[in-house]
Each structure stands twice: as structure tokens, then as C-alpha cells.
């Protein structure tokens, strides 16, 4: 028998995802017509010289993607628009989500934010985050004084 660590927060997230998938097909009046906020899946890869973020954004035009960095937080925003705005009666199944997405990732201090590059190909957004040259460790020499010193007090005691 293998013991596994119980993670209640992980089980709650899994339950929430299951419930979201269950209710996704229903249209609620307060959600707006045909729009849905959705989250993207990302892969974050650490390499010796860079960190690479790959995000799945299928069906989004490159001009509708916004990549920005502020205060060491990488922000990905985009919107996937519905192809057919007026006509909904011909659909038997409509599962592809439309709407906007937003994803923010905190970056380590070692990322050089001035040299970040992003590429979009076949529905995958790839962001290259080069690492800055690490600050070199500076060794400080500890010098030894000229000899033993005597600690003196500020007041002298009178002899009896």
C-alpha cells in the first residue's frame, strides 16, 4: 500500500473545475450573450540561460494578444471573438469558448525584462524570458587586528 499526501485544496480545485465544466453549456442571463471568461494553460520551462513560457491560445488572432511585464509580473491578455454573432439557431453543439482571458505569472528577479521576446505560431504563444547575468558573489576578506586589546570601562573604582 502506498501512502499519498492528502491535499484538500487540490481536491477543491478539481471539484470546482468539474462543476464549471458541468455548467458551461448553460447560458445564464448575467454572463452576457455568448461570452465566457476562460483561463489558458501554460507550460513554464527553466533553462540555464532563459525561462520559456508556452501558452495555448487557439483561435486567437496575433493582433488580439497583449503581452506585458510590470513589476516582475508577466501578463498575458487576449480575446477570442465569436465567428457568427447573429445566427445561433443552426448550432447543434457549441463548445468553443469565446471571450477574453487573462493570466499573470510572477517572474524571478533574475529575468532581464528589457530583452523579452514573444512569438505566436499555430495557436501557441511562446515567450522567451532571458536571465540577467547573475550578480557575482563578492568575497570580503576578514582582517585580524594587531594584537589582543583590553576592554576598558569608563569609570575607575576607588581602592579601599
- Reported as a single tens digit per residue, the pLDDT across 81-128 is 776 655 566 777 777 777 788 889 999 888 888 899 999 999 999 999
Top-confidence residue, 81 or 64: 64
List the one residue out of 111, 107, 108 whose CA is nearest residue 130.
111
Q: Residue 99: inside a domain, yes or no?
A: yes
Q: Residue 88: inside a domain, yes or no?
A: no
pLDDT of residue 22: 75
pLDDT of residue 105: 93
Find all residues with CB under 8 Å of 79, minimum gap 6, and list them.
60, 64, 99, 100, 101
Average pLDDT over residues 136-153: 68
Q: Residue 62: inside a domain, yes or no?
A: yes
Band of pLDDT at residue 2, cut at 50, 70 and 90? confident
Q: Residue 50: inside a domain, yes or no?
A: yes
Find all residues with CB under 8 Å of 65, minimum gap 6, and list them.
57, 76, 77, 78, 120, 125
pLDDT of residue 137: 58
List the one residue out of 104, 131, 103, 126 whose CA is nearest residue 115.
131
Residue 79's φ and ψ, nearest 5 degrees, are: -140, 130
Structural domain containing residue 122: 35-83+95-130
CATH of the domain at 60: 2.60.40.790
Q: Identify the helix (H) or strand (E) that includes residue 155.
A: none
State the Cα–Cα distance between residues 24 and 43, nearest whole angstrom.
Answer: 25
Q: How far is CA 46 from CA 73, 74, 128, in A?
A: 16, 15, 10
pLDDT of residue 43: 94
Amino acid at each position: 500500500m502506498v501512502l499519498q499526501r492528502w491535499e484538500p485544496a487540490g481536491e477543491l480545485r478539481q471539484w470546482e473545475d468539474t462543476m464549471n465544466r458541468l455548467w458551461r453549456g448553460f447560458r445564464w442571463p448575467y454572463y452576457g450573450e455568448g461570452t465566457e471568461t476562460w483561463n489558458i494553460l501554460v507550460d513554464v520551462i527553466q533553462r540555464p540561460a532563459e525561462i520559456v513560457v508556452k501558452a495555448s491560445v487557439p483561435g486567437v488572432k496575433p493582433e488580439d494578444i497583449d503581452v506585458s511585464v510590470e513589476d516582475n509580473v508577466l501578463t498575458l491578455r487576449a480575446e477570442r471573438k465569436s465567428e457568427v454573432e447573429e445566427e445561433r439557431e443552426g448550432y447543434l453543439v457549441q463548445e468553443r469558448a469565446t471571450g477574453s482571458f487573462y493570466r499573470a505569472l510572477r517572474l524571478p528577479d533574475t529575468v532581464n525584462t528589457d530583452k523579452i521576446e514573444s512569438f505566436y505560431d499555430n495557436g501557441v504563444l511562446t515567450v522567451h524570458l532571458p536571465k540577467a547575468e547573475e550578480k557575482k558573489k563578492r568575497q570580503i576578506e576578514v582582517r585580524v587586528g594587531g594584537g589582543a586589546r583590553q576592554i576598558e570601562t569608563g569609570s575607575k573604582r576607588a581602592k579601599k
